[in-house]
Amino acid sequence: QKEVEQNSGPLSVPEGAIASLNCTYSDRGSQSFFWYRQYSGKSPELIMFIYSNGDKEDGRFTAQLNKASQYVSLLIRDSQPSDSATYLCAVNRRTSYDKVIFGPGTSLSVIP
């Protein structure tokens, strides 16, 4: 079992729809969870992070965490063509230092 798993996609949604990206992780001791966006040919950039169970909203983005189910998701509301990218889920297994493991990423395509 891989440490962090995501559906590879591609996920296609029409412009204005909600895109839902999912991620599961294997280490129950994982402490913090991140979503990064990576455009083709560019480096990953941090969208948001979440530590506690529940939802965390930032603009059009909502991260959801369920530690009991070892599940993290990212919702993108009112999807725009500029949201077309690969979305990487990442998990930090420690609190005091960084050992961040990335999932394989989900490719999202927003169709105008």
Partner 1 sequence: KAGVTQTPRYLIKTRGQQVTLSCSPISGHRSVSWYQQTPGQGLQFLFEYFSETQRNKGNFPGRFSGRQFSNSRSEMNVSTLELGDSALYLCASSPGQGSSGYTFGSGTRLTVV
Q: Where do contacts with partner 1 occur on this chain (CB under 8 A)? A: 31-32, 34, 36, 42-46, 49, 88, 92, 94-105
Interatomic CA distance for residues 73 and 65, integer angstroms: 7
CB of 102 to partner 1, least distance (A): 4
- Which of 45, 78 has the CB closer to partner 1? 45
| Measured distance CA(17)–CA(76) in Å, rounded | 8
Shortest distance in whole angstroms from residue 65 CB to partner 1: 15
**Of 72, 69, 68, nearest to 91 (Cα)?**
72
Closer residue to partner 1 (CB): 28 or 99 = 99
Nearest to 40 by CA among 82, 90, 75: 82
Q: At its nearest, how many Å lie between partner 1 and the CB of residue 94?
A: 7
